[in-house]
Structure 1
Amino acid sequence: MAGSQVALSPAQAIAVLRTLDSCAVSDALDTLGLPGAVTGISAMWPTDTVMAGRVRTVTAAPKSSGGPSDHIATALVAGAERDDIVVIDNHGRTDVSCWGGLLAEASIQRGIAGVIVDGACRDVQESQALGLNLYARAAVPVSARGRIVQQAMDERIQVAGVSVASFDYVIADVNGVVFVAAQHAERVLELAQRIVAREAAMAQAVRSGRDVREVMHDSQFPTVTAE
């Protein structure tokens, strides 16, 4: 990607993300002075895989009117595309779930790559059995039905303080969750690749006997990059 004059397609960006890890992407964002990494949201079971894709947002809100309504996230899941990642802003609530097993079944049918909930989920075992990546703050058995509804879809949301929009990118793994704004994706991914290569060389230096104090000195971590 270095020196590329052609913007990455979404498929290319996702492919690159899947070769990285959340730490490298977070470090690239730090170097560029950009937000993206979030705290408090983690995988719902031990994982050794990297989840990456394009964000599709859902905003949750307490149910305020009587009568039946569409269940939260069903409209988005029904129209999702392969490699989309559902990101639900339930404002960090952990007392009620906004994601469960039937949504997971439908997501697999649509080719959705995973789900991130700023709040709680349930039916974790079903998502795990289906192989649907699931990240959240907590799991609770309490249903969303009759308690929370979908307020908006594909609108800008806040996830643990980070502004996220549909068609941004996200990577998540055992270390956590990192969002990358679409307009910054190419330079973030290019820098993340450089960071991975640099750290591989540093690891080799340590294995070769070089003093780790020298290898890890701040001078080895420049804040700007050169072509």
Structure 2
Amino acid sequence: MSDGTEPDVDLLDRLRTMDSCAVSDALDTLGLAGATTGLRPLWPVPGVVAGFVRTVRAGPRPSEGPAGHIATAAIDAAHADDVLVIANAGRTDVSCWGGILAVAAQGRGLRGVVIDGACRDIAESEELAFPVFGRAVVPVSARGRIVQLAMDEPIDVAGVRVRPGDLVLADRNGVVFVPRDRVGDVIGLAERIVEREAAMVAAVRAGRPVADVMHDSRFPSIESEKSDR
């Protein structure tokens, strides 16, 4: 979310060089929530999608009267390197994303969308090569069922509290969120984890017993991270 207060864009570039497993391990080691379960690419998205979070909260219409379509205002306000994150309480019986929204989001330079819920028109998103992560694909429209309740405020996504300006990484393994005030710590540790795992793979290929290579003592802990500093 490009509001002038986001973490250094260099950190985003570094985040894009890793996968969600390494970031999840770093979050675990630091005792931070951020890794989700149940969210996956809804078409075979290649590589990694990472960016600054822009939030939307959807839900049943609270009263009669007109309401803006879900995510349209957020897309119009978005910047390149944003990833739209839509909270719909994990519902899989109604869509909160579709093909026209994907066209608009791509035109604004968004990196992708993460939905705690369902989408439709997935073939259109795939044809555009616009990444969509969520729980399900359904044909059921949002119209007359759910509306946008809020945007650019904290939301809950698959049990994780997510705030505008946090970083998100999504790939074939799933979706992880990095709190904006801990981005440097998480990415730095994730990079060290990637280096350690590369060394472990090299040791296994060199003939070292995998039981030794993968012993608990070989993995980082909060205590080991404190001692390394």
Aligned pairs for 1:66-215 within 5 A: 66-215=64-213
Output the CA distance in 2 between the equivalents of 1:9 and 1:96. 34
Deviations 1:53-108 (A, max 9, x none): 00000000112433432111100001100010000000011111000000000001
In 1, Cα distance between equivalents of 2:8 and 2:132: 22
Secondary structure of residue in 2 paired with 1:192: helix
In 1, Cα distance between the equivalents of 2:148 and 2:124?
Answer: 22
Q: Matched residues in 1 for 2:74 and 2:84: separation?
A: 8
- Give 1:51's match in structure 2, choosing from 49, 52, 67: 49
* Stretch of structure 1 that moved more, 68-77 or 179-188: 68-77
Q: Is the partner of 2:11 in helix, strand or coil?
A: helix
Distance 2:219 2:140 in 1: 46
- What is the TM-score with the length of structure 1 in the denominator? 0.94
Of all paired residues, the percent bearing the same amino acid is 59
Shift of the 25–106 alpha-carbon distance from structure 1 to 2, 3 Å rule, reads same
Whether the aligned pair in 1 keeps the contact of 2:7 and 2:183 (CA below 8 Å) is no
Give me the whole-angstrom Cα distance separating, in 2, the residues matched to 1:66 and 1:77. Answer: 24
Distance 2:63 2:144 in 1: 9
Which of 4, 16, 23 matches 2:14?
16
The residue that corresponds to 1:4 in the other structure is none
What whole-Å deviation, never above 9, does each CA across 1:21-57 have from its counterpart, x for those lacking one?
A: 0000000001111110001110002233100000000
- Where structure 2 has 5 or more consecutive residues not aligned to the other structure, the ranges are none
1:3 is aligned to none
| Alpha-carbon contact 2:6-2:165 (below 8 Å) kept | no
Corresponding residue SS for 1:37: coil
- AA partner of residue 191 (structure 2): Q
C-alpha root-mean-square deviation of aligned residues, in Å? 1.4
Residue 8 of structure 1, CA deviation? 8.8
Alpha-carbon distance in 2 for matches of 1:13, 1:137:
28
The whole-number CA distance in structure 1 between the counterparts of 2:101 and 2:7 is 28
Matched residue of 1:61: which SS? strand
Are the equivalent residues in 2 in contact too, given 1:157–1:164 (CA < 8 A)? Answer: yes
- Please identify runs of 4+ aligned residues in structure 1 that moved more than 3 A: 7-10, 64-68
For structure 1, list consecutive stretches of 5 or more residues without a partner in the other structure: 1-6
Q: Within 2, Cα distance between the matches of 1:131 and 1:92?
A: 24
Q: Is the 8 A contact 1:82 1:112 kept in 2?
A: yes
- For residue 9 of structure 1, report the CA deviation from its aligned partner: 4.0
SS in structure 2 at match of 1:75? helix
Letter in 2 for 1:185: V
CA distance in 1 between counterparts of 2:103 and 2:45 reads 20
Deviates more, 1:44-53 or 1:79-88: 44-53
Say if 2:7 and 2:180, in contact at 8 Å, map to a contact too: no
Give the TM-score normalised by structure 2: 0.93
